[in-house]
Amino acid sequence: MQSYGDESRPLAALSLPSRIVIGVAACAVAVIVAIHLAMMFLHVAPQNTLSKQQGSLISDYVYPEYEQNWKLFAPNPLQQNVAVQVRAQVRAEDGSSRTTGWTDLTARDGRAILHNPLPSHTEQNQLRRGWELFVNSHNAQGRPIGARGELAERYIRRIVMFRMQGEWTAAGGRVERIQVRSRTAAVSPPPWSTEKISDKPVYRVQPWWQITSADLPEGANSQ
């Protein structure tokens, strides 16, 4: 009766070329992992001589695939609450115009997340990251800086119209213009802290934006 050897062969039983290939592959994987860990360490670690000298190389490696945005664990965590609020000018079917009150979209996202064990990515990040992009790509006067700023502005308009168009036009009419503002308030220090901060919110109000068909949800129209 013919016996068959064990299918799992020890490394020593392999031919010399096979062992060389496996050894080279293992070394290559080890080098790649070491480089990745070094880049991520230099990215998240406090600035040092090496990270200053190679800052451009490190940023090119990290962004955008390996971007870290876990600000809860950052050396300087967020100390402000930022809320995005919107309102609109609606043209009724009889030709009259009305301005809606302010709606706090951030508060709505917060209520949707509260006590929800599996909140959606949209509720957690869409508006927040969109507004971060908008702020970082506009100057203090609210003017877009290059194509990135124009893209961020269109993105915010589409988010607002996707969420609010049905509510604003429930009684008929169409949205002609929208206005967006942010409300920034400092996070109160803990009771044991002696830090003194202002509890007065700061508003960043954008000009009225004209709404076109490109800003409407798919399948909707501006008429």
115 and 199 share a domain? yes
Q: Please, which pLDDT band fits residue 219 given cuts at 50, 70 and 90?
A: low
Which residues are CB-contacts of 78 (< 8 A; sequence separation ≥ 6)?
71, 72, 187
Sign of the CA dihedral running 158, 164, 170, 175: negative
Rounded Cα distance between 153 and 159, Å, is: 10
Domain assignment of residue 194, given as a range: 78-215
| Span 189-211, pLDDT tens digits | 878 878 788 889 999 999 999 99
Number of domains in the chain: 2
84 and 162 share a domain? yes
In a domain? residue 40 = yes
133 and 172 share a domain? yes
Rounded Cα distance between 131 and 121, Å, is: 15
114 and 61 share a domain? no
pTM of the shown model: 0.64
In a domain? residue 73 = no
Within 10 A of 138 (CB to CB), how many other CB atoms are there? 19
Rounded Cα distance between 110 and 123, Å, is: 8
136 and 88 share a domain? yes
Burial (Cβ within 10 Å: 0-12, 13-18, ≥19) of residue 175: buried
83 and 26 share a domain? no
| Span 92-139, pLDDT tens digits | 999 999 999 999 999 999 999 999 988 888 888 899 999 999 999 998
